[in-house]
Amino acid sequence: GQSLEQPSEVTAVEGAIVQINCTYQTSGFYGLSWYQQHDGGAPTFLSYNALDGLEETGRFSSFLSRSDSYGYLLLQELQMKDSASYFCAVRDGGDYKLSFGAGTTVTVRA
């Protein structure tokens, strides 16, 4: 089966930087994704890493190390609207289905 570990909660102030780590154990690996969910609403896609290294999209960056089965999501210049839950997810086969971590709740304080 698949197993993903990520911290349950992170709190930071506006303007700060937050790193959400994700370690995974899977039978196969096609890529690591990150999704954001506000207030229990529809999760939305943030980023994807299939190869080792850093992917940057605006204030958000995502990193992957396949040899360590580890990745992280970096949130920079935190804003109040970044308060949400963040999920890492692994695609472990050719059929596009994902296995999700339990999620990290990020709270941004003024």
Partner 1 sequence: NAGVTQTPKFQVLKTGQSMTLQCAQDMNHNSMYWYRQDPGMGLRLIYYSASEGTTDKGEVPNGYNVSRLNKREFSLRLESAAPSQTSVYFCASSDTGIGNQPQHFGDGTRLSIL
Interface contacts to partner 1, rule CB under 8 A? 1, 8, 31, 33, 35, 40-45, 48, 50, 87, 89, 95-103
Q: Indicate the residue among 43 and 69 with the shorter CB distance to partner 1.
A: 43
Q: Indicate the residue among 13 and 85 with the shorter CB distance to partner 1.
A: 85
Is residue 25 helix, strand or coil?
Answer: strand
Q: Indicate the residue among 15 and 98 with the shorter CB distance to partner 1.
A: 98
Report H helices in 1-110.
none
Burial of 51 from C-beta contacts in 10 A (0-12 / 13-18 / 19+): exposed
How far the first Cα of the chain sits from its last, in Å, is 41
User: What is the nearest approach in angstroms of partner 1 to the Cβ of residue 50?
Assistant: 7
Q: Give the span between the Cα atoms of 51 and 10, in whole angstroms.
A: 27
User: What is the nearest approach in angstroms of partner 1 to the Cβ of residue 13?
Assistant: 25
Q: Indicate the residue among 97 and 109 with the shorter CB distance to partner 1.
A: 97
User: What is the nearest approach in angstroms of partner 1 to the Cβ of residue 106?
Assistant: 15
User: What is the nearest approach in angstroms of partner 1 to the Cβ of residue 40?
Assistant: 7
| Strand-pair category, 104-109 with 9-13 | parallel
